[in-house]
Amino acid sequence: MAAHGQVTWNDDASAGGWIAERLGPFGPRVDGTVPRGYAAYACVPHPDGYGSLVRTTDDDGAPSALDVLTAVLASFTGDQPVHAGLWTGFSFLYDHGTDPRDTSGIGVLVGWAEDEPPPSEEEVAAAQAEAWDQLAPTLVERPAAPMLLLPHREYHLWTGTLADVAAFRHHDQSPNLWWPEDRSWFVGSEIDAAATYLGGSDALVDAVCAEATLGAHRVAPSDEMLFEDD
């Protein structure tokens, strides 16, 4: 594996090679994101109604939904490796071996008060350079390794402990796919959905649904996922 920044990216996508054949058709159903074949499934609504399990405006010191869910999963996982995948289209990612100023999905704008004279071109350039100096180190380089290719979605993979699924917390992002080495459960977050979905044993799903702070409920693989406008 090749180390970079916050995670150690996998050198290939073989860890996820089993997923595609167990998915249903790409689309709004649960089994388009979480593989078929698990005894039970659950929906975990996102705290902000969209995005991910990481709360984007959490100033009360409470643990994120991601923290709570990983704590529940811990007793079903032990110390085995956990694989995770991140969708390649997030703006904080930039192309391998390039300058993030050119290839990330983030830009820098300079503003000024309406009652003030506009800055000179030199002042604008200096302000943009200063902003990029602060921003660029926080962005994440895509790995050179092949991606996991699933219908209409591409993912960069890494492998670590269960705690490592929080690697991109400061970008308000949880993994889009994560599962343990023994594949006994699977968590999936479709990028356009307002909830995360998981499959596992009846006992695991019961435990997730019993955690009141998650607001989780059981679903079927054929159910439609929750979206922001629902």
CA neighbours within 13 Å on the CB side: how many for 81? 10
Q: 216: which DSSP letter?
A: -
Task: Report how far residue 195's alpha carbon sits from residue 45's, in angstroms, rounded to the nearest whole number.
Answer: 4
Each residue of 6-48: pLDDT tens digit?
788 999 999 999 999 999 999 999 999 999 999 999 999 998 7
The secondary element (H helix, E strand) that includes residue 2 is strand 2-4
Q: Please count the CA atoms within 13 angstroms of the CA of 48 that sit on its side-chain side.
A: 13
Which residue do the tokens 């993979």 mark? 157
Paired with 140 in beta bridges are 93
Q: Side chain identity at 54, as an amino acid letter?
A: V
- Choose among 50, 47, 67: nearest CA to 58: 47
> How far is residue 211 from each of residues 137, 175, 204, 208, 217, measured CA to CA in Å?
37, 20, 11, 6, 10
Task: Tell me the pLDDT band of 148, cut-offs 50, 70 and 90.
Answer: very high
Q: Where residue 4 falls among pLDDT bands split at 50, 70, 90?
A: very low
Q: pLDDT tens digits for 60-93?
A: 667 899 999 999 999 999 999 999 999 999 999 9
CA distances from 19 to 31, 33, 117, 151, 161 (A): 11, 9, 57, 11, 20
Chain segment 170-203, per-residue pLDDT in tens:
899 999 999 999 999 999 999 999 999 999 999 9
CA distances from 126 to 103, 112, 133, 138, 139 (A): 20, 14, 11, 20, 20
Mean pLDDT of the chain: 92
**Tokens in use for 177?**
């796919």
Q: What share of the chain is helix, strand, coil (3-state, %, to 5)?
A: 30, 25, 50
